[in-house]
């Protein structure tokens, strides 16, 4: 059994969905296949933006909703013959009316809560998965749509809900044990809390949905289909001779992702990694490219011996913060105070270096923080010194 996850750019429009459908069909010829999909690219942002605009009293949210409607209608019109469109068009229309009602409520109250944000954001994956399922079914390929809300249970930490693995694994295993279909499609990112209220797994959460299903079912492989041909030895925008890494270990992949190579999101692959299930990164727009296979260990071929450095990643927009002074040598507690202040301001530390010695007259602690949090830090310092 294999799990295939398609990201937002892979399902951005009808043209791309056709490519996705071909990949699904090919996979299903070889194995039982479960598909997890993201929303059409940009739709989650637009849904959330509609909510925040409505809360700000900005009626531009109505235009946003029209654009969301148009994108889905266009996809349906290009994927499904006219005679069979009406059911799906009315399904989309019903969701759009609900989105509108929710946003009108937000507009009246001038307030949006995390719970409402999740409700709004959930429409993206719900719609994309319905459209892909219908387009495949109309092309005489049988695929069973299953609501992620019936499979994934979380706590009520809206917008970043944590999965209740005991309940979730039980639900996933019992559903797939009973279901006799060969190919399934599930919306990513969406879940429910114990009361059945919609939650989401955090931005980029569709990868996580796929990983949860992969591990619950002990699938043979998780394929992440995206718009690049895998992880690269360096950022291709900065290094012209960067190459795709065909094989990488989980640890190396996590390390590269943490420092800028955004192809996979480390927490996502954690459950898959714990079980040693391979993750294969593939390109929807170049399906014959090998991509990158991530496994526990990698074979040490001669080529690998030559390429001891697997890859170099980089991160931009980082601010350096140095705390230095002679008076701090040998006096405990300075690091704790600095990190305490950063954490009280919710500032995320990316890297720490420290140099001090008994002989040094200078003690230097340098931390790196995202540049967008720099202003926050400056404001904090000003407040403290005033
Ligand atoms: N659609 C969600 C997002 O944009 C989840 C995902 O695509 O993985 O964050």
List pLDDT tens digits, range 311-369: 887 788 889 888 887 777 677 887 888 899 999 988 989 889 887 655 556 677 888 89
CA of 201 to the centre of ligand 1 (A): 9
Adjacency order of strands within the sheet including 279-283: 144-145, 183-187, 33-37, 2-6, 221-226, 279-283, 292-295, 247-249
d(C-alpha 116, C-alpha 118), whole Å:
5
pLDDT at res. 357: 59
Rounded-to-5 percentages of helix, strand, coil across the chain: 50, 15, 35
Is 90 exceeded by the pLDDT of residue 300? no
pLDDT at res. 331: 76
pLDDT at res. 176: 97
**Cβ distance 242 to 185 under 8 Å?**
no
Q: Residue ranges of the alpha helices (H) in 194-295?
A: 205-216, 250-258, 266-275
Domains along the sequence of the chain with CATH: 2-227 (3.40.1160.10), 318-385 (3.30.2130.10)
pLDDT at res. 289: 96
**Cβ distance 219 to 3 under 8 Å?**
yes
d(C-alpha 17, C-alpha 36), whole Å:
13
Listed range (141-155, 173-187, 195-209, 317-331) with the worst mean pLDDT: 317-331
Is 70 exceeded by the pLDDT of residue 303? no
Atom of ligand 1 nearest to the CA of 189: 5
CA of 214 to the centre of ligand 1 (A): 18
Is 70 exceeded by the pLDDT of residue 280? yes
Per-residue model confidence as pLDDT tens digits over 228-260: 999 988 888 888 888 899 999 988 888 887 666
d(C-alpha 357, C-alpha 335), whole Å:
15
pLDDT at res. 306: 61
Is 80 exceeded by the pLDDT of residue 213? yes
**Cβ distance 99 to 68 under 8 Å?**
yes
Segment holding 19, helix H or strand E? helix 14-30
CA of 236 to the centre of ligand 1 (A): 24
pLDDT at res. 238: 83
pLDDT at res. 310: 77
Task: Indicate the SS3 state at residue 248.
Answer: strand
Q: Give the burial class of 330: count Cβ atoms within 10 A of its Cβ; 0-12 exposed, 13-18 middle, 19 or more buried.
A: exposed
For 184, left (φ over 0), alpha (ψ -120 to 50), or beta? beta
- Ligand 1 pocket test target in 7, 10, 36, 38 with most atoms within 8 Å of CB: 38
- Ligand 1 pocket test target in 118, 120, 124 with most atoms within 8 Å of CB: 124
Atom of ligand 1 nearest to the CA of 205: 8
Residue nearest to atom 8 of ligand 1 (CA): 204
CA of 383 to the centre of ligand 1 (A): 37
Atom of ligand 1 nearest to the CA of 201: 5
Is 60 exceeded by the pLDDT of residue 204? yes
Give me the mean pLDDT over the 101-105 stretch: 98
d(C-alpha 119, C-alpha 108), whole Å:
17
Higher pLDDT among residues 117 and 263, named by residue:
117
CA of 368 to the centre of ligand 1 (A): 27
CA of 207 to the centre of ligand 1 (A): 8
Atom of ligand 1 nearest to the CA of 124: 1
CA of 8 to the centre of ligand 1 (A): 7
CA of 222 to the centre of ligand 1 (A): 17
- Ligand 1 pocket test target in 42, 71, 123, 125 with most atoms within 8 Å of CB: 125
Q: What is the average pLDDT score of the chain?
A: 91
pLDDT at res. 354: 80
> Cβ neighbours of residue 164 under 8 Å, at least 6 residues apart?
153, 154, 155, 194
**Strands 279-283 and 221-226, bridge-based pairing:** parallel
Residue nearest to atom 6 of ligand 1 (CA): 204
Higher pLDDT among residues 266 and 284, named by residue:
284
Per-residue model confidence as pLDDT tens digits over 10-63: 999 999 999 999 999 999 999 999 999 999 999 999 999 999 999 999 999 999
Task: Label residues 267-287 b or e (16+ Cβ within 10 Å = b).
Answer: bbbebbbeeebbbbbbbbeee
**Pocket of ligand 1, beta carbon within 6 A:** 8, 38-39, 44, 124-125, 188-189, 203-207
**Strands 363-370 and 318-325, bridge-based pairing:** antiparallel
Is 70 exceeded by the pLDDT of residue 112? yes
């Amino acid at each position: 059994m294999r799990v295939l996850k398609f990201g937002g750019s892979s399902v951005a429009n009808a043209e791309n969905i056709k490519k996705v459908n071909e990949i699904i069909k090919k996979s299903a010829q070889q194995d039982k296949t479960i598909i997890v999909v993201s929303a059409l690219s940009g739709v989650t942002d637009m849904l959330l933006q509609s909510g925040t605009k409505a809360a700000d009293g900005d009626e531009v949210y109505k235009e946003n909703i029209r654009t969301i409607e148009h994108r889905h209608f266009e996809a349906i019109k290009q994927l499904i013959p006219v005679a069979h469109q009406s059911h799906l068009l009315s399904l989309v229309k019903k969701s759009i009316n609900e989105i509108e009602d929710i946003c009108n409520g937000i507009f009246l109250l001038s307030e949006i809560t995390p719970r409402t944000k999740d409700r709004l954001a959930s429409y993206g994956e719900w719609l994309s998965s319905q459209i892909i399922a219908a387009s495949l079914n109309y092309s005489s390929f049988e695929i069973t749509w299953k609501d992620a809300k019936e499979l994934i249970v979380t706590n009520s930490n809206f917008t970043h809900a944590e999965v209740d693995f005991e309940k979730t694994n039980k639900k996933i295993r019992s559903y797939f044990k009973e279901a006799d279909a060969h190919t399934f499609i599930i919306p990513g990112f969406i879940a429910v809390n114990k009361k059945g209220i919609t939650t989401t797994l955090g931005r980029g959460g569709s990868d996580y949905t796929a990983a949860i299903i992969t591990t619950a079912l002990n699938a043979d492989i998780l394929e992440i289909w995206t718009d690049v041909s895998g992880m690269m030895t360096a950022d291709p925008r900065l290094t012209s001779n960067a190459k795709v890494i065909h094989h990488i270990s989980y640890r190396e992949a996590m390390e590269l992702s943490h420092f800028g190579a955004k192809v996979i999101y480390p927490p996502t692959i954690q459950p898959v990694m714990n079980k040693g299930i391979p993750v294969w990164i593939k390109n929807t727009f170049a399906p014959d490219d090998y991509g990158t296979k991530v496994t526990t260990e990698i074979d040490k071929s001669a080529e690998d011996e030559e390429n001891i450095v697997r890859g170099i990643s980089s991160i931009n927009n980082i601010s350096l913060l140095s705390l230095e002074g002679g008076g701090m040598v040998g006096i405990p507690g300075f690091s704790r105070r600095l990190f305490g202040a950063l954490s009280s301001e919710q500032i995320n530390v990316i890297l720490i270096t420290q140099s001090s010695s008994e002989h040094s007259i200078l003690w230097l602690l340098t931390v790196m923080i995202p540049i967008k949090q720099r202003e926050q830090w400056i404001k904090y310092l000003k407040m403290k010194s005033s």
